[in-house]
């Protein structure tokens, strides 16, 4: 199942050992390093079929950089600015302190909103189409109140911020809901990427997500959110396609000779805009963040350079870009774990991969520098 000039035997052995221990049912990996590409799949899809490099998997929050690129294009066109107030574009986004929310706050999870969609109450709602669901979600967001002054605290928000961002981008470009993502799927040639799960695919061509026993509740939420066509949370496809998103960021906003955003915009997206609150441990709701990009290298692994950025999602997927080593990695593990075990699994992959690629060990940074 491997198509590569890279030698990743040790990585494959790591995956096989994890599968044997019941950590996950299978793993899908795509790596680009210094002009060479490797695609690898090990194990099964959670429903008894082999997990292949073409099996569709949920990207969950690892898809957020697509929204960042869509914003970057609108920013360069002059349609939006980081400090544009959302209410200026979406008049319905008002009340409860939301008038102070800027586009910057959506992209950095500093809106002050504590995921209002986590409390959606469908009781009495007339829902017979996705448009009805969108109206229900939008109505819930409109009724939400900020917990703190926007721009002053990070509250990581898996769904709402990108739902609003997509509506903002649609309003300034004339697109329909979801078009901020679908247009980039087309421009980047992401032929497997879809908003929401594609239930028309045979079961053997998509994963059935699994979880450790203590993560069943989290898995149920993840399955519900990822099944819906929600930008930044409900994207499915292969890791080879997700890796392309990282390739674009590493290439300064270019893909196959086409300029999606300029190099300065790509640098701005991947720079830290929210510093995170200093702690002795990594907090999964308040950490250094760019514009739709995680910018804390130690989220990804101790072997990563200080320039590493990317995104993680659902405790099952990760997009990692390490410019120091001309490296892009996209990985999906079909087995949701708790936060601590997720970090350990990601660190183990980074160690094995960096060793396999013969990348040098860098001087260790103090915790305050990570």
The predicted pLDDT at position 244 comes to 98
Give long-range contacts, CB 8 A cutoff, 24+ apart: 250-256: 250/321, 250/323, 250/326, 250/328, 253/69, 253/72, 255/187, 255/188, 255/189, 256/189
Give the chain's mean pLDDT: 93
130 DSSP assignment: H
The predicted pLDDT at position 278 comes to 78
144 DSSP assignment: -
Query: Is residue 77 scored above 70 in pLDDT?
Result: yes
Query: Is residue 289 scored above 70 in pLDDT?
Result: yes
The predicted pLDDT at position 252 comes to 98
Query: Is residue 96 scored above 60 in pLDDT?
Result: yes
The predicted pLDDT at position 123 comes to 64
Each residue's pLDDT tens digit, 8-52: 999 999 999 999 999 999 999 999 999 999 999 999 999 999 999
Q: What share of the chain is helix, strand, coil (3-state, %, to 5)?
A: 40, 15, 45
Angstrom distance (rounded) from CA 46 to CA 250:
33
Each residue's pLDDT tens digit, 300-345: 999 999 999 999 999 999 999 999 999 999 999 999 999 999 999 9
Strand partners, 41: 28
Strand partners, 310: 294, 320
pTM: 0.95
Residue 362 confidence class, pLDDT cut points 50, 70, 90: confident
Query: Is residue 274 scored above 60 in pLDDT?
Result: yes
Tell me the CA distances in angstroms from 150 to 27, 64, 72, 160, 208, one per residue in order: 39, 20, 21, 14, 38
Query: Is residue 101 scored above 70 in pLDDT?
Result: yes
Could you give the domains of the chain?
A: 9-369 (3.40.710.10)
The predicted pLDDT at position 280 comes to 60
Cα 138–chain centre separation:
22
Each residue's pLDDT tens digit, 147-188: 999 999 999 999 999 999 999 999 999 999 999 999 999 999
The predicted pLDDT at position 328 comes to 98
Query: Is residue 127 scored above 80 in pLDDT?
Result: no
Each residue's pLDDT tens digit, 205-262: 999 999 999 999 999 999 999 999 999 999 999 999 999 999 999 999 999 999 999 9
The predicted pLDDT at position 1 comes to 41
């Amino acid at each position: 199942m491997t198509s590569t000039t890279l030698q990743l035997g040790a990585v494959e052995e790591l995956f096989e050992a994890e599968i044997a221990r019941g950590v996950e049912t299978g793993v899908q990996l795509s790596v680009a390093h210094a002009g060479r590409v490797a695609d690898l799949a090990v194990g099964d899809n959670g429903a008894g079929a082999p997990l292949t490099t073409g099996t569709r998997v949920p990207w969950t929050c690892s898809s957020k950089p697509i929204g960042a690129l869509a914003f970057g294009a609108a920013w360069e066109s002059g349609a939006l600015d980081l400090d544009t107030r959302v209410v200026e574009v979406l008049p319905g986004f008002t009340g409860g302190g939301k008038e102070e929310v800027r586009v910057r706050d959506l992209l950095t999870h500093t809106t002050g909103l504590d995921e209002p969609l986590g409390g959606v109450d469908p009781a009495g709602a007339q829902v017979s189409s996705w448009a009805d669901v969108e109206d229900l979600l939008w109505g819930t967001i409109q009724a939400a109140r900020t917990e703190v002054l926007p721009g002053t605290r990070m509250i990581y928000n898996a769904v709402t911020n990108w739902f609003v961002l997509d509506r903002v981008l649609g309003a300034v470009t004339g697109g329909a809901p979801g078009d901020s993502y679908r247009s980039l799927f087309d421009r980047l040639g992401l032929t497997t990427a879809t908003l929401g799960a594609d239930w028309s695919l045979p079961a053997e061509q998509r994963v059935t997500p699994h979880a450790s026993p203590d993560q069943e509740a989290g898995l149920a939420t993840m399955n519900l959110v990822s099944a819906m066509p929600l930008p930044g949370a409900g994207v499915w496809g292969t890791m080879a396609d997700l890796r392309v998103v990282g390739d674009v960021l590493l290439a300064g906003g270019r893909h196959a000779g086409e300029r999606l955003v300029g190099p300065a915009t790509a640098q701005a997206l991947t720079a830290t805009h929210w510093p995170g609150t200093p702690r002795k441990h990594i907090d999964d709701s308040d950490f250094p963040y760019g514009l739709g990009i995680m910018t804390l290298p130690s989220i990804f692994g101790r072997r990563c350079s200080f320039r590493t950025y990317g995104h993680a999602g659902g405790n099952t997927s990760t997009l990692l870009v390490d410019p120091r080593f001309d490296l892009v990695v996209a990985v999906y593990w079909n087995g949701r774990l708790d936060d601590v075990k997720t970090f350990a699994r990601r660190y183990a992959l980074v160690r094995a991969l960096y060793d396999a690629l013969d990348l040098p060990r860098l001087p260790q940074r103090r915790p305050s520098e990570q």
